[in-house]
Chains A and B, each alone.
Chain A
């Protein structure tokens, strides 16, 4: 079984700082996303699953409409598997209502005077969604799939408004590290990958211009692009 633990905004420097051994696995590093004009979530995940830079195609849709992107399975490397399971991935099959709700709360935060209340609801919503995806992901790994991808947004969503809150970020990284620990014993190939990282702007967090990758195999990759991993995974699959 091949598993992708797809983590939005997993920051390389925090993985190091919090010493998340299970996220680092055997080989790990930063990805090079400099071919993209901005580190946009939908663009990066769509490019990852197709192995092609999808920026121009997605940006022509508009800032609002790009969130509706649904890349057909035929354009992805998922077709190389007999029974693939993909959970909540932007640009493919994510829960649009849940993610829209999160963005509305984010917008509300900047418009309200009662920031504490909105922030509390925003964080609670992100953690609830995380638990739902985590349970589905762990269940899928125990089922009979030859490929599972689970997408986790909590580090990105919570990080945007709380990146300066070290304890909160550490608890999120510990939780993600624990998920990696739970699944790594059960599978052949585990790729952990982020679209971009995150850097602090006071208490807030902005997307950084590199991502994170790790594999449970000894492999040397020098500044791989996010679009390289479709080929890398398939070559590992074919031995």
Chain B
């Protein structure tokens, strides 16, 4: 029971990280490239 509670607290405090979808990553990549090339 105590372990369950500890796990519960850990999950609540832990930072949730959502991985970007591959499409979104590629969109970010091309956006940065277009910026570097002076397009946007």
Contact = CB atoms under 8 A, between A and B. Distances in A.
B24 to A, nearest CB: 10
A206 interface: yes
- Mostly, the A contact residues are mixed
Nearest to B36: A38
A107 interface: yes
Interface range for B: 10 to 19
Contact of A203 (B26, B33, B36, B40): B26
B37 A207 contact: yes
Contact of A110 (B23, B27, B37, B38): B27
Interface of A: 38-42, 63-64, 66-67, 103, 106-107, 110, 160, 201-207
B7 interface: no
Interface of B: 22-23, 26-27, 29-31, 33-34, 36-40
A41 B33 CA distance: 13
B23 A63 contact: no
Nearest to A108: B40
Nearest to B40: A107
Most buried by B among A42, A64, A107: A107
B40 A204 contact: no
